[in-house]
Amino acid sequence: MSEKIVITGLGVLTPNAKGKEDYWNALQEGRPGYEPVKLFDTSEFNVNIAGEVPDFDATEYLGKKGLRTMDRAARLVVSAAKLLMDDAGYGEKISEELTDDFGVSVGNTLGSLKSIAEFDEVTLREGPRFVNPALFPNTVINAAASQISIWFNIQGFNSTISNGFTTSIDAMQYGYDFIDMDRVKVVFGGGVEEMCWHTFFGFHTLKYLSGSKKGENFINCPFDKRRNGIVFGEGALLVGMEDLEFAQKRGARIMAEVTAFGSEFDPFRLHKFNPRAIGMKNSIRNALDEAGMSPSDIDVIFANANSTQAADRIEAYAIKEVFGSYGKKVPVTAIKSMIGETYSVSGAMAVGAALGSMERGFIPPTINYQVPDPDCDLNIIANTSVKADIKTAMVMNFSPSGANICMILRKWEG
């Protein structure tokens, strides 16, 4: 088993930034990343706001060769992998000598939906013989993760985790376990989500989107009493997790230690959070227990809060129940106020934000916070970032389908 597992690099593409430094700048400035949709026509919907990665062009990161058969999800996550390769100092490709020591663990739930829809549309209208065979590989959910290994010569293992909202941190935990069992030395862990008409249509039809109900205005304000639904977002984020000895031997710059994970599945009801927050509370407790920490050891909480009434209220309740009197003192922030609900990659984006907090000494704000909700009476960092010496951070990621996971990071100080 590995003594410690650390993070040595970050590759990120979000609705409000491209690249690590730009992302941390955006969070520190409280810069939102959602605006009128450009990728497809939204005239049939009640709302036209979403979080697209701005002016994304994969050729900026990968060149022109080899992109023709890759869908947007694959282009996003492979571009994030390229940014990670550069940030962590892995070079252009992993060498043959080291390739078996590297693995990929990517969370992806809806990333193939557009490719599946396009493939099936031609099949149903014109027949299977008229379908472009180049479309087929992208209909498989592990296509995006596989492209990372193809581009950068990673042969240790390649896995795709699909578990809804908690997918990306689930993928990180899966990769962490591979390192801990000494099966690989490095894992590219994180997630990807692609913006397309089909996913937007689905969330709009279910009335999950803010402004999708007639008579309601669009607003994205986690923990605020006015909240009325999510802003759907896209992006990709990967961290480089390494065995400490391997990282030190290659002279890597270490950002943080991955201290613990805590998870619990709460089979309450499909698409509805358990009002008693049993899974949420136990996942928090499990993470603290694994880390050997008490609630007061946590310097900041990166909340799951996505601007829906029930989810934010129940999460606030879970925090107060587990953290006790410290629950109203520990700083809490909701970065989804800036990037929206990026679904499969949302947890990873919070991890990337936590790394920035430790590196730069700040807590990003929950923007658009104006009307306090008595049910969410936490120490919410509202509207403006604050300076803080962050040593430990807890990232929370919860799903209305029952999955709950928390991750604790510790600043690396040698």
Per residue in 152-210, pLDDT tens?
999 999 999 999 999 999 999 999 999 999 999 999 999 999 999 999 999 999 999 99
For residue 96, give both structure tokens. Answer: 């043959």
How many Å apart are CA 214 and CA 204, to the nearest integer?
11
Give start and end residues of each alpha helix (H) in 30-71: 59-62
Number of helices followed by number of strands (H, E) in the chain: 12, 16
Domain borders along the chain are 5-256, 261-411
- The CATH T-level fold of domain 261-411 is Peroxisomal Thiolase; Chain A, domain 1 (3.40.47)
Q: How confident is the model at residue 271 (pLDDT cuts 50, 70, 90)?
A: confident
Select 5-256's CATH number: 3.40.47.10, 3.40.50.300, 1.25.40.10, 3.30.70.260. 3.40.47.10
**pLDDT at residue 134 is higher than 80:** no
Whether the domain at 5-256 and the domain at 261-411 fall into the same CATH topology: yes
pLDDT of residue 129: 80
pLDDT of residue 133: 78
Q: For the segment 54-99, what is each residue's pLDDT rounded down to a tens digit?
A: 999 999 999 999 998 899 999 999 999 999 999 999 999 999 999 9
pLDDT of residue 136: 80
pTM of this structure: 0.97
**pLDDT at residue 314 is higher than 90:** yes
Radius of gyration of the chain (CA): 20
- Any residues with CB less than 8 A from the CB of 33 and at least 6 apart, and which? 14, 15, 16, 17, 26, 51, 54, 233, 338, 339, 340
